[in-house]
Amino acid sequence: MYNLARLCQNLKLKAQQKKRFKISAKGKVISAQAGKRHGMIKRTNSQIRKLRGTTTLSKQDGKIVKSYMPYSLRG
């Protein structure tokens, strides 16, 4: 017989990923720029400017992040 608990499992996902990443209309994963948490003194002004806003993840990284998302956000 089938294990009833196994049939009724909820979707397990990493809930923090819903808050950190967004999916664009074309299905790309959008995230905040990395490298701006601390140590801004040693970075050049142009580097700090370029790190503003958001960026899209590479296709390989996006595939990993999408696997953590619930079904409606997988794109």
Structural domain contains residue 7: no
Q: Does 29 map to a domain? A: yes
CA 73 to chain centroid: 11
Q: In this structure, is residue 5 part of a structural domain?
A: no
Domain membership of residue 27 (yes or no) is yes
Question: Which residue type occupies 22?
Answer: K
Q: How far apart (Å, rounded) are the C-alpha atoms in residues 61 and 28?
A: 10
- pTM value is 0.73
Residue 56's domain is classified under what CATH number?
4.10.410
Residue 8 lies in a domain: no
**DSSP codes, 38-73:** S-GGGS-HHHHHHTSSEEEPPHHHHHHHHHHS-GGG
- Residue 53: give the domain boundaries: 15-33+41-73
Q: What is the pLDDT along the chain (75 residues), one digit of tens a residue?
A: 555 555 555 666 678 888 899 999 999 999 999 999 999 999 999 999 999 999 999 999 999 999 888 877 776
How many domains does the chain fold into?
A: 1
Q: Would 1 be classed as within a structural domain?
A: no
Candidates 12, 27, 34, 40; CA nearest to 66 is 27
H/E element, 15: helix 15-20
